[in-house]
């Protein structure tokens, strides 16, 4: 047996394995004899089938099976022993494989194409400058949030004439018969500005006839009131007939104990000042999460853009095609750049983790799972009632779906630890912004990408 590596570039190579008859003959003969002892063939007593008969009937399939078994092990051993950092899995070379004559050959050559991790320089230092936004809870944001809460927890009343923040109870149909939806709710806050006038000043029994594509700016809202799938709603043309059966108006809630209990739980808040303060804290926590998620995205993009890391693109595209039966050529071309960025980022994260001995312990995973489960049961206040049951619940959760939950939490914690390390090593400049300003920044970045 002979194994050789042919490095075509820093990211692509092939492994050639040459097998002589002596490399596989013993295993093949052993398998033939095993078949002969176990075979139940008409005309022969069980265990007395001549090996020659087995060889004639099954010899080729046994040969292929045993050679593939040898190749699989030798290939894995060679990659491990030579510390080859590969991406994906080795792929048999189609051209050389098609030339194999299993019926007549005794010596074989097999070529496997592999993708390699390119050597790359990674600078995690103060030279790397990343901006981090801190979103302030200004008076406008707080007032808007309080206004939304008062509307959301207010009581519904029936109105005689529609206004631009009401909800219509309606039947929706079209003349073609493709839409016939009864008793739907049309939220007028979602209606496009251009169409708003058509939906205000209506009374029960009125019918609005309007072009389907003009009602909302977002076709998902159209899908909701028509009952169509999202794609069908996006393509819907022609007039829709909307018959008003009722007009629902949300009256604002009052600042009282009923509101405080509904928002934060019974007895958690006793007065308006405490309520407003707690809302402000909650908004701040939500803003912090949004800002933190954006910062993680910014760090990711910074290092992907500023780290010279080549990928074996042609190999990876072939590997993705081979391993994903439903992946079309169009899907591959559309999604590959995003996949390549994720792969680069994972390589960077792995490098940082390896060089800085960043690991996640089993207890870390269990504690995170326990925290998630307790929050679903109502937070720390429910922990006392769950104390005797929480460990078995955690075990069951982490073991379910073949350990997928365990792997997901492990990866999440690992990435958080790595990002915390990176943040501590680079130069982070904080900039305070209002929420509206932050939203515009994110939208601009999204449009650019």
Query: Is 407 found in the same domain as 301?
Result: yes
Query: Is 110 found in the same domain as 15?
Result: yes
Query: Distance of alpha carbon 46 from its chain centroid, rounded?
Result: 54
Query: Is 219 found in the same domain as 86?
Result: no
388 occurs within a structural domain: yes
Query: Is 301 found in the same domain as 188?
Result: no
342 occurs within a structural domain: no
CATH of the domain at 208: 3.10.50
Query: Is 170 found in the same domain as 110?
Result: no
Query: How many angstroms separate the CA atoms of 304 and 106, rounded?
Result: 49
Instruction: Give mean pLDDT, residues 242-266.
Output: 93
124 occurs within a structural domain: no
Query: Is 171 found in the same domain as 74?
Result: no
Query: Is 390 found in the same domain as 409?
Result: yes
**What would the pLDDT profile of 117-161 be if each residue is shown by its tens digit?**
988 999 999 999 999 999 999 999 999 999 999 988 999 999 999
Domain boundaries, position 64 = 2-116
Instruction: Indicate the angle between helix axes 21-38 and 51-81, nearest 10 degrees.
Output: 130
Query: Is 58 found in the same domain as 20?
Result: yes
422 occurs within a structural domain: yes
- The answer to whether the CB of 237 falls within 8 A of the CB of 228 is no
How many helices (H) and strands (E) are present in the chain, helices listed first? 15, 11
The set of long-range contacts for 369-374, using a CB threshold of 8 Å and a minimum separation of 24, is: 369/394, 369/397, 369/398, 369/405, 369/406, 369/409, 370/394, 372/409, 373/397
How many domains are there within the chain?
3
Query: How many angstroms separate the CA atoms of 104 and 23, rounded?
Result: 16
Instruction: Give mean pLDDT, residues 169-194.
Output: 93
Q: Residue 322: CB partners within 8 Å, gap ≥ 6?
A: 91
Query: How many angstroms separate the CA atoms of 83 and 284, rounded?
Result: 48
**What would the pLDDT profile of 341-364 be if each residue is shown by its tens digit?**
999 999 999 999 999 999 999 999
86 occurs within a structural domain: yes
Query: How many angstroms separate the CA atoms of 434 and 138, rounded?
Result: 7
186 occurs within a structural domain: yes
CATH of the domain at 80: 3.30.70.1050
Query: Is 47 found in the same domain as 82?
Result: yes
Query: Is 419 found in the same domain as 276?
Result: yes
136 occurs within a structural domain: no
139 occurs within a structural domain: no
Query: Is 238 found in the same domain as 264?
Result: no
**What would the pLDDT profile of 51-95 be if each residue is shown by its tens digit?**
888 788 888 899 999 999 999 999 999 999 999 999 999 999 988
Sign (positive/negative) of CA torsion 438, 439, 442, 448? negative
């Amino acid at each position: 047996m002979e194994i050789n590596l042919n490095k075509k570039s820093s990211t692509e190579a092939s492994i050639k394995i040459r097998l002589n008859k002596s490399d596989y003959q013993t295993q093949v003969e052993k398998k033939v004899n095993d078949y002969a002892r176990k075979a139940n063939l008409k005309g022969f007593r069980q265990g007395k089938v001549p090996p020659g008969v087995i060889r004639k009937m099954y010899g080729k399939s046994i040969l292929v099976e045993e050679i593939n078994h040898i190749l699989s092990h030798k290939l894995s051993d060679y990659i491990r022993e030579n510390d080859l950092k590969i991406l994906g899995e080795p792929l048999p070379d189609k051209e050389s494989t098609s030339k194999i004559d299993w019926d007549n050959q005794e010596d074989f050559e097999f070529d496997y194409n592999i993708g390699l991790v390119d050597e790359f320089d990674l600078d995690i230092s103060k030279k790397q400058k990343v901006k981090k936004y801190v979103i302030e809870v200004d008076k406008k944001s707080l007032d808007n949030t309080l206004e939304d809460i008062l509307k959301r927890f207010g009581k519904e009343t029936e109105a005689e004439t529609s206004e631009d923040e009401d909800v219509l109870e309606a039947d929706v149909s079209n003349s073609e018969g493709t839409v016939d939806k009864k008793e739907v709710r049309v939220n007028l806050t979602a209606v496009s500005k251009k169409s708003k006038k058509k939906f205000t000043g209506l009374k029960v029994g009125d019918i609005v006839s309007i072009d389907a594509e003009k009602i909302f700016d977002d076709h998902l809202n159209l899908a909701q009131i028509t009952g169509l799938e999202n794609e069908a709603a996006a393509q819907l043309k022609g007039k829709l007939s909307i018959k008003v059966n009722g007009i629902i108006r949300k009256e604002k809630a009052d600042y009282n104990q009923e509101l405080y209990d509904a928002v934060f739980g019974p007895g958690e808040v006793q007065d308006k000042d405490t309520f407003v303060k707690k809302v402000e804290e909650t908004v701040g926590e939500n803003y912090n999460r949004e800002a933190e998620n954006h910062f993680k995205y910014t760090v990711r993009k910074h290092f992907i853009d500023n780290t010279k890391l080549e990928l074996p693109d042609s190999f990876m595209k072939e590997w993705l095609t081979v391993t994903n039966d439903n992946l079309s050529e169009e899907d591959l071309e559309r999604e590959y750049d995003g996949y390549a960025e994720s792969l680069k980022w994972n390589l960077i994260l792995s490098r940082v983790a390896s060089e800085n001995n960043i690991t996640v312990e089993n207890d870390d995973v269990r504690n995170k799972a326990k925290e998630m489960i307790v929050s679903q049961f109502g937070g720390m206040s429910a922990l006392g009632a769950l104390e005797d049951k929480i460990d078995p619940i955690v075990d069951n959760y982490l073991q379910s779906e073949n350990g997928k939950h365990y792997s997901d939490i492990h990866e999440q914690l690992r990435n958080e630890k790595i990002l915390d390390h990176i943040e501590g090593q680079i130069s982070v400049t904080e900039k305070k912004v209002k929420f509206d300003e932050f939203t515009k920044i994110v939208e601009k970045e999204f449009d650019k990408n």
